[in-house]
Amino acid sequence: MKLKLWVVLLSLSLVVVACAKPEPTATPEPTATPIPGPFTVTVVYTNDGWGYTEPCACDPSTGGLARRASYINAVLAENEHAIVVDAGDSLLTLQRVGDREQGRLLAQAFNEMHYDAIALGGMDFRMGLDVLREQIDVADYAVLSANTEDPQTGQAFDKRYVLIEQEGHRIALVGLTDAKMTAEVTEGAVPVTDPIEALMETVDEVVYQADVIIVLSHLGMVYDMNLPSVVPEVDLIVSGLDKEVYDPPLTAAGPLIVSAGSRGEYVGRVDMHFDAEGNLVSFDSDMQMLTDEVAEDTAMRQWMLQSGLIPATALKSGESGTLSQ
């Protein structure tokens, strides 16, 4: 009995130490009683948007923020607790480097679409650190990267993780950023740590606080397939960088791995079903190609017209785009 008590006290002390680490993520105390028994977590996800705001000039025409907003709003109308996330390379614009106003407007567009968290990809640093900081300032969502450091503060750029509460259950969202592109576009100005070590450290911190752990990874499939072997506590990986469409989600690595292509042409949804002990037992998924069959959200279209966000349109699916003045 004494041994068991000692183990419990040691575990509690580790939680206290973890919470005392630099740059903690503030999380409110639970405000709702957890629903007993099995529960479901719904995640809507995108990745690698690359600043495209309009449907591509191709056949079929795909993508566009107004269509994406329509899909997201439909899911939120069905399930107000759905989590909306992005796995990186989506805060950059097609403007010249240093165009602060367009950078801020694109960040605000994600507010309009009700995102909860966005991971930083290496190309998100392309506009410059000052612009990125301004984008973070206007964001109502969490901007996540556990393995990059703001050279001004020495802390994570901007948060390592965030905790979201759903009916008493806590979901941890962790962001990871690709090192090579970050170093290239910042000319080494942003320190980047090993993403595996950063994830292990972060999961050690949140595992006692969260029922579900989701990684927003802008590392690519080679990394993502190996993450579960070192961090088995992860339940879902939203994968960016490779610009692949996984329909259905990949399951061979252990947790679910999902990805929704690039340039905003797709948006994905996964409903993860957990038993009372928090074990993932099944899932349902949907991958929506944003063709003209998805009606534009009128409020989002109106905001885009009034905000001054310059339309950015891909010439063809998967190819470079242009700006429309």
Model confidence pLDDT, tens digit, residues 267-310: 999 999 999 999 999 999 999 999 999 999 999 999 999 999 99
How confident is the model over 146-171, as pLDDT tens digits?
A: 999 999 999 998 999 999 998 889 99
Find the mean pLDDT for residues 232-244: 97
Burial class (CB in 10 A: 0-12, 13-18, 19+), 175: buried
Q: Which region holds residue 193: left if phi is over 0, alpha if psi is between -120 and 50, else beta?
A: beta
Examine residue 58 and state whether it is found in any structural domain, yes or no.
yes
pTM of the model: 0.88
Domain for residue 24, yes or no?
Answer: no
Burial class (CB in 10 A: 0-12, 13-18, 19+), 313: buried
CB atoms within 10 A of CB 303: 20
Tell me the residue range of the domain where 199 lies: 41-323
Checking if the pLDDT of 325 tops 60, the result is no
CATH number of the domain bearing residue 179: 3.60.21.10
Separation of alpha carbons 321 and 231, rounded Å: 38
**Average pLDDT of 110-119?**
98
Cα separation, 181 vs 220, in Å, equals: 12
Whether the pLDDT of residue 103 is over 80: the answer is yes
* Residue 266 reports pLDDT greater than 90: yes
Helix or strand holding residue 174 (H, E): strand 169-177
Mean of the per-residue pLDDT values of the chain = 88
Note whether residue 4 is domain-resident.
Answer: no
Residue 114 has pLDDT above 50, yes or no: yes
The stretch 96-120 carries a mean pLDDT of 93
Asked if residue 68 is part of any domain, the answer here is yes
Domain presence at residue 8? no
pLDDT of residue 233: 96
Q: Look up residue 155 and give its two tokens.
A: 């802390």
Residue 180: pLDDT band (50, 70, 90) is very high
Q: What is the pLDDT of residue 99?
A: 85
Residue 231 domain-assigned?
A: yes
Measured on CA atoms in the order 202, 207, 210, 213, is the torsion positive or negative?
positive
Asked if residue 288 lies in contact with residue 309, where contact means CB atoms within 8 angstroms, the answer is: no
Phi, psi of 229 (to 5 degrees): -70, -25
- Provide the percentage of residues in the chain whose pLDDT is more than 90: 79
Quote the pLDDT of residue 73: 98
Q: What's residue 314's pLDDT? A: 75
Q: Is residue 138, in this structure, part of any structural domain at all? A: yes
Answer yes or no: is pLDDT of 211 > 60.
yes
Q: Which of 16-20, 71-75, 200-204 has the lowest mean pLDDT?
A: 16-20
% of the chain at pLDDT higher than 70: 85
Phi, psi of 153 (to 5 degrees): -110, -20
Torsion sign across C-alpha atoms 214, 217, 221, 227: negative
Residue 136 within a domain:
yes
- What's the average model confidence in pLDDT over 207-217? 96
22-77: pLDDT as tens digits: 344 444 444 445 667 899 999 999 999 999 999 998 888 999 999 999 999 999 99
- In total, how many domains does the chain have? 1
User: What is the structure's pLDDT at 167?
Assistant: 83
CA distances from 306 to 43, 82, 324 (A): 30, 28, 15
pLDDT of residue 322: 59
Give the pLDDT score at 319. 61
